[in-house]
């Protein structure tokens, strides 16, 4: 840092927080959206540069690709008239305060979806939405973690109905229908008719 350069590490200017000096009057800044950029400190301090880029979505969360995921979670947890409330907020499931109060903290903690059809999955369905309990999952992975899944043990392993049908090359919809019509438990049905 030059003799004239003032230490601004940790200070926030609009949407940018100074991280460290990189030389030539420039600093590494972290934007509210989580991206890091190198900018001239004088431009940031006087407001010429307010975020990581002109297209940074921090100004309007609803334009961000993750906004509807976050908003949907919040509604399921806190709005009694929301679809699914009884299975989330109605069971006491909440969002951690940092996510509830800041969409951008949610984005920072979870990052972008690894692929377009990813959904947010809680690792423990009886715990809240928070960084430690959530991961991005494919629709298939998400379906494996539902409370209403049907489970079957095979070769000392526990499988969902979908997984065991895939493993044994069975048509899931047909097996599911037969199970619903059967008076046997899923395990008894498989033991008698499949294994």
pLDDT number for residue 1 = 54
Residue 139 has pLDDT above 80, yes or no: no
pLDDT number for residue 142 = 67
User: How far is Cα 155 from Cα 150, in angstroms, rounded to an integer?
Assistant: 17
- Sign, CA dihedral 188-178-86-106, equals positive
pLDDT number for residue 94 = 97
pLDDT digits 0-9 by tens, 34-73? 788 999 999 999 999 888 876 565 566 777 889 899 999 9
pLDDT number for residue 2 = 53
pLDDT number for residue 54 = 60
Cβ-based neighbours of 60, under 8 Å, separated by 6 or more: none
User: How far is Cα 58 from Cα 33, in angstroms, rounded to an integer?
Assistant: 6
By the 8 A CB rule, do 29 and 36 touch? yes
Q: What is the mean pLDDT of the chain?
A: 86
pLDDT number for residue 145 = 63
């Amino acid at each position: 840092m030059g003799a004239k350069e003032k230490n601004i590490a940790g200070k926030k200017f609009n949407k940018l927080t100074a991280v460290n000096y990189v030389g030539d009057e420039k600093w590494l800044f972290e934007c509210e959206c989580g991206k890091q950029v190198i900018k001239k400190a004088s431009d940031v301090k006087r407001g010429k540069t307010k975020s990581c880029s002109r297209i940074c979505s921090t100004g309007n969360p609803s334009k961000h690709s993750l906004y509807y995921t976050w908003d949907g979670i919040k509604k399921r947890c806190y709005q009694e008239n929301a679809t699914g409330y009884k299975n989330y907020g109605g069971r006491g499931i909440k969002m951690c305060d940092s996510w509830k109060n800041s969409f951008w903290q949610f984005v920072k903690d979870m990052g972008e979806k690894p692929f377009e059809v990813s959904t947010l999955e809680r690792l423990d369905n009886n715990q809240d939405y928070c960084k430690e309990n959530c991961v991005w999952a494919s629709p298939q992975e998400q379906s494996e973690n539902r409370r209403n899944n049907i489970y079957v043990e095979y070769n000392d392993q526990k499988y969902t109905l979908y997984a065991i049908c895939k493993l044994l090359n069975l048509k899931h919809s047909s097996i599911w229908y037969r199970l619903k019509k059967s008076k046997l438990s899923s395990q008894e049905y498989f033991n008698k008719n499949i294994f």
